[in-house]
Homo-oligomer: A and B are copies of this chain.
């Protein structure tokens, strides 16, 4: 069964670095093999470098990004705890769902989709929350929420941040910004296919772990005995070996390029795309000053679509003629915005230029 070679310019996955797919082909080691433990340790060291943290508990959760959300939340949130959550898109909303299932009290800080959340509102929402949780890069809207201001004044609360679409793509300083728990995904700016959720957890957060997490699979107190166990690693579950090879390789590409250079490449592509779309007369959805370079949301020019075609037809045409995937909108902006990603290996000027030319061909 053959399939096509896509240019992935949706909200994720992006195209993986070639080095990552090469790594997938390497012979499989056992999860307790000393050579694998060494590779896992090195992967976690690389994660610390991109997360900009010294946190000992930094590792890839053996599941996709949303499992990282659940893993970070379920290890610190107990029934009855108060959790302040910023909601200006799908992923803030998802956090509320997860926290509600944990039996905790959700305090929502809502903002209009497309706009960033004022950090002061997060701080003022409750006098003594256990956790303040927010999304750094909202994949559903292309908006960046500010984090550092919350961390600086968080007080007793733990600061938990969704970095799925920010890690590797835009500046992120876990330690300097006072982030206690962060999670990400491999398929965005890390240039690795989906399958793992890199997380990092401060010692301060570990001290406030719940007695026993609701989830066995995501119980970080148990997982820590494997991922940070020193000489003796206690088996918890079988690590996803090949995916970790891929993550190790993707992080290697980034660190060889230099994290700042990788981020600059994402920024350059984002700037090109934003300018190009606006030059074509299109209107960006995310508010100025908080636009992500790696995921761009743009109002669909409904009056400029080809005759008798809707926006999904345009996306199908891009896919069929050019093998280019771009994303539609989710929830309230479905049918109203497109989401265009430039992440990981996809974040190259040539891809932006191609997409702009292809759109120019299609639109009236």
Chain A residues with a Cβ under 8 A of chain B: 1, 3-6, 8, 10, 12-13, 15-16, 21-22, 24-33, 35-36, 39, 42, 62-67, 69-70, 94, 97-98, 101-102, 185, 187, 193-195, 212-217, 235-243, 246, 248, 319, 325, 330
B4 touches A35 (CB 8 A): yes
Residue of A32, A39, A248 most packed against chain B (CB within 10 A): A32
A16 vs B193: C-alpha distance in the bound complex, in angstroms? 19
A33 touches B101 (CB 8 A): no
B3 touches A29 (CB 8 A): yes
With A64-B240, A97-B216, A185-B238 known as contacts, the answer to whether A26 contacts B39 (CB < 8 A) is: no
The answer, among B8, B10, B33, B330, for a CB contact under 8 Å with A325, is: B33
B66 touches A237 (CB 8 A): yes
Given the complex, which residues of B lie within 8 Å of A25, measured CB to CB? 21-22, 24-25
A16 vs B24: C-alpha distance in the bound complex, in angstroms? 12
Given the complex, which residues of B lie within 8 Å of A35, measured CB to CB? 3-4
The answer, among B4, B13, B217, B242, for a CB contact under 8 Å with A63, is: B217
B238 touches A24 (CB 8 A): no
B195 touches A13 (CB 8 A): no
Given the complex, which residues of B lie within 8 Å of A13, measured CB to CB? 28, 30-31, 238, 241
A213 vs B42: C-alpha distance in the bound complex, in angstroms? 36
With A33-B325, A242-B193, A243-B240 known as contacts, the answer to whether A215 contacts B101 (CB < 8 A) is: yes
A215 vs B101: C-alpha distance in the bound complex, in angstroms? 7
The answer, among B6, B235, B241, for a CB contact under 8 Å with A193, is: B241
Given the complex, which residues of B lie within 8 Å of A212, measured CB to CB? 101
Closest to A22 in B: B25
A64 vs B24: C-alpha distance in the bound complex, in angstroms? 17
Q: Give 30 pairs: A residue, B residue, CB < 8 Å, sorted on A.
A: A1-B39, A3-B27, A5-B27, A6-B33, A15-B28, A21-B25, A22-B25, A24-B25, A24-B242, A30-B325, A31-B194, A33-B325, A62-B64, A63-B63, A63-B67, A64-B238, A66-B216, A66-B237, A67-B217, A69-B216, A70-B216, A94-B216, A101-B212, A102-B214, A193-B243, A194-B240, A195-B242, A214-B214, A214-B215, A240-B243
